[in-house]
A and B are shown apart, each in its own frame.
Chain A
Amino acid sequence: NAGVMQNPRHLVRRRGQEARLRCSPMKGHSHVYWYRQLPEEGLKFMVYLQKENIIDESGMPKERFSAEFPKEGPSILRIQQVVRGDSAAYFCASSPRRADPTGFGSGTRLTVV
């Protein structure tokens, strides 16, 4: 009965490198949501994907950030040329249909040095 799995739990990148965050949804869930949480702040929506489709990316920064959810394998959030301001906890959630995300992963904590 695995929940949403995210890896890595912690990721350290130097400025300018690429960060790749992975999310495996709960079994049977085909909808994935990515959120970012800065220290002392709530979760900010980034992107909502279904298998092979980006449904809503209204929360994604226009540059350097991209997301995918391929037919096979986990969803990937990619951040290119990271900057210090990208340091945050990134959470993934999933749901079995288009609805509110109820199951969250434990997050990936990205630190840019």
Chain B
Amino acid sequence: QKEVEQDPGPLSVPEGAIVSLNCTYSNSAFQYFMWYRQYSRKGPELLMYTYSSGNKEDGRFTAQVDKSSKYISLFIRDSQPSDSATYLCALLGVIQGAQKLVFGQGTRLTINP
């Protein structure tokens, strides 16, 4: 079983739609949860960083964590064509005595004007 599962998509939605991106994980040792955005031919950039269960909002982006279900989500409201990118979830925790950052496969998102 993979440590982090993320639907690779691709996901295509019209401009203005609400987008939901999700990851599930198996190890409760992961305590920090990040979402990165990666444009084509670019490195990932950190979008959201959260620790506790619940919601964290930043502009049009909301990160949601449910530690009991081991499920994290990123919601994008009023999606724009400029949001078209690959979104990667990443989980940070101490696994077997070492700090590990594990990435999901990434979901390719296209917002159609």
Contacts and interface: CB of A to CB of B under 8 A. Distances in A.
A41 B49 CA distance: 21
Nearest to A3: B43
A63 interface: no
Range class of the B interface residue count: 20 to 34
Interface string A80-113: 0000000000010100001011111111010000
A42 interface: yes
Contacts of B17: none
Interface residues of A, number: 24
B7 interface: no
B88 A102 contact: no
Nearest to A101: B101
Interface of B: 4, 6, 8, 32, 34, 36, 41-46, 49, 88, 90, 92, 98-106
